[in-house]
Amino acid sequence: MSDHRGRRPPEASGRVSPMVRGGLLVSVPWTALFLPEPWSVPLLGLLSLVAGVLLVRDPEADRGVLLTVVAFTVCDLSPLSFDGSVVRLYQLSALLVLVVVMRRWRGLVRSVRGLPRLPMAVIGVIVTLTVLTPLSLLWTISPKDTLVATVGQLSATGVLLVVTGSLSSGLIRAKEVLAALWTMASASSLWAVVQFVATILTPWDLADAGGSGVTWPRPEGLMTESVWAALVAATGLALTFVVRRDLPRLAAASAAVHIATVALVGSRAVLLGMAVATVVCGAIAWRRYATPRRLLAVATAAVVGVLVLALAAPAVLARFDPRLIVGGESGGDGGSAQSRAVVYRLVADELPPRLPLGGGAGSLNRLTTDPEIRERYIDGGQLNSGRGSTNFFLGYTFDFGYLGALLSVALVVLVGVAAVRNARRDHGLTAFLATLFLVDFQFNNGFRFGFVNVLLGVLIAMTSVRRRPVRQDPDPPSATGPAVGQRCA
């Protein structure tokens, strides 16, 4: 079919769509990582440079590039790592993202600078944390850990600002971003289920055996640890409400694999976060649905579930015994709770001499991996370690002292207010996710994860959209307003 001038539309002529071209430009350079050393990394750089040159000549592919990068923020798998930290695939696409930013920087900067006070305050807190991270090299106890934390923080903040500016300027739409995250999260949970089934039924061990008191193989999906696979699954489960009307069957199927992944991993932090998030959303967004009959049905199902679990798998239920944390008992969870409690004691001993500035970004990782400290605190056992530390508030307080504590509290308060304000627009989706992450990050801090900052960027952009009065004869929807502020659930 042709138009009145005899020209055929691009899709009819067999031309690859801009979205697909953008995805290919992002993905093709990664194929170099499958080549043997020492050629893989140099070839990756060369292919990325070629892809960047092609993208300079193809502005229509910008949306495809951004959405592909967004999708891969929910994937930890990568052949590259540095000092125990994975160099994630979306981070390897920084050159292509930079091309998009340089081409559209005026509109992106204008959109970010035009945000209202509340979203701008959230960005201000995160930018302050980002500036403090490399600045703490002046007083850190571990320059190497601080440098690695700096790269991670700059990457996360860059993702946040690019997503916020792209949404606010209308370059991409909120529903597209959430759908991209849902797609990759669903792939992660599907792979997690495959890992478990293959490990149980075949000679292939695709999942780690047990861990934290779990007696069965715990899958990791597309993440590096099972606890993060569970958090991604819980996030994907929430995001199914974004696509359930457009893709009802796929949404239902993905919900099933997400629930299965959460159950197989059995992460207490994620399960607790989901429970608390449900209560929070019920209080602020779902009140009109909370009839006495429905509440009674939910309470009955919960009680029956606990009783069945107590009879069928008492060892699993024992992992949720509060005495594991309060009393410091070990055994029921493989010593996981005791490991976290020891980190709190370690911070209580090591932080006071380093106040008011703290120990420097990521430096707690050096202490928790020091063999002498492990021998002193936990008889040589494993401590819960990482450059984000065990606890969100504890980590930033140890990193930056009093200012870190103040900034972490301010960030939680501001994000909470923004999520509540946005509850009517998205039926509590962002409030659910914000609460889920807040609870989980008290046990497994992952605030620098790319997908967390993508979702934060969506929240900031949607909060900035002012509600418009309904007209009898509405104008055609603009690329900025309804696209960002549309219903997400």
Tens of pLDDT, residue by residue over 371-383, are 888 888 776 666 7
64 plus 182 within the same structural domain: no
Quick one: tokens of 181? Answer: 């995250």
**pLDDT: which is higher, 443 or 378:** 443
In a domain, 177, yes or no: yes
213 plus 154 within the same structural domain: yes
pLDDT value at 412 more than 60: yes
In a domain, 96, yes or no: yes
Average pLDDT over the chain, rounded to an integer: 85
Quick one: tokens of 81? Answer: 């790592």
Q: What is the pLDDT, as a whole number, of residue 6?
A: 47
pLDDT value at 487 more than 60: no
Q: What is the pLDDT, as a whole number, of residue 366?
A: 87
Name the pTM for this structure. 0.87
173 plus 247 within the same structural domain: yes
Neighbour count for residue 244 (Cβ, 10 Å):
16
* 175 neighbors 242 (Cβ within 8 angstroms): yes
Cβ-proximal residues to 270 (8 Å cutoff; 6+ apart), any chain: 227, 230, 231, 233, 234, 262, 436, 440
Which domain, by its residues, includes 88?
16-113
Helices (H), 266-313: 268-284, 292-312
Question: 34-80: per-residue pLDDT in tens?
Answer: 888 888 889 999 999 999 999 999 999 999 999 999 999 999 988 88
53 plus 178 within the same structural domain: no
In a domain, 4, yes or no: no
Q: Domain boundary at 66, 94, 113, which?
A: 113
Q: What is the mean pLDDT of residues 378-403?
A: 82
Q: What percent of the chain has pLDDT over 90?
A: 57
pLDDT value at 334 more than 70: no
**pLDDT: which is higher, 463 or 484:** 463
Number of domains in the chain: 2
Q: What is the mean pLDDT of residues 222-239?
A: 94
Q: Domain boundary at 58, 93, 113, which?
A: 113
85 plus 132 within the same structural domain: no
104 plus 125 within the same structural domain: no
Question: 250-264: per-residue pLDDT in tens?
Answer: 999 999 999 999 999
83 plus 229 within the same structural domain: no
**pLDDT: which is higher, 127 or 327:** 127
207 plus 134 within the same structural domain: yes
Q: Domain boundary at 113, 135, 158, which?
A: 113
Q: Of the ranges 18-27, 32-41, 303-312, which one carries the lowest mean pLDDT score?
A: 303-312
78 plus 191 within the same structural domain: no
Q: What is the pLDDT, as a whole number, of residue 341?
A: 79
* 141 neighbors 359 (Cβ within 8 angstroms): yes
E strands, 135-238, where? Answer: 208-211, 214-218
**pLDDT: which is higher, 454 or 374:** 454
Q: Which of 213-222, 319-328, 334-343 has the highest mean pLDDT?
A: 213-222
309 plus 398 within the same structural domain: yes
Q: What is the mean pLDDT of residues 356-380?
A: 85
Q: Which of 390, 454, 421 is nearest to 166 (CA)?
A: 454
pLDDT value at 477 more than 60: no
Q: State the helix-helix crossing angle for 248-265 and 174-201, rounded to 10 degrees.
A: 50
Neighbour count for residue 21 (Cβ, 10 Å):
18
Q: What is the pLDDT, as a whole number, of residue 12?
A: 45
pLDDT value at 181 more than 80: yes
In a domain, 381, yes or no: yes
Q: What is the pLDDT, as a whole number, of residue 29?
A: 93
pLDDT value at 162 more than 80: yes
Cβ-proximal residues to 350 (8 Å cutoff; 6+ apart), any chain: 359, 367, 398
Cβ-proximal residues to 369 (8 Å cutoff; 6+ apart), any chain: 383, 385
In a domain, 279, yes or no: yes
Burial degree of 124 (CB within 10 A; 0-12, 13-18, 19+): middle
Which is it for the CA torsion 181, 178, 282, 449, positive or negative?
positive
In a domain, 283, yes or no: yes
186 plus 104 within the same structural domain: no
Give the model's confidence band at 331: pLDDT under 50 very low, under 70 low, under 90 confident, else very high. Answer: low
Give the model's confidence band at 126: pLDDT under 50 very low, under 70 low, under 90 confident, else very high. Answer: very high
Residue type, 226: S
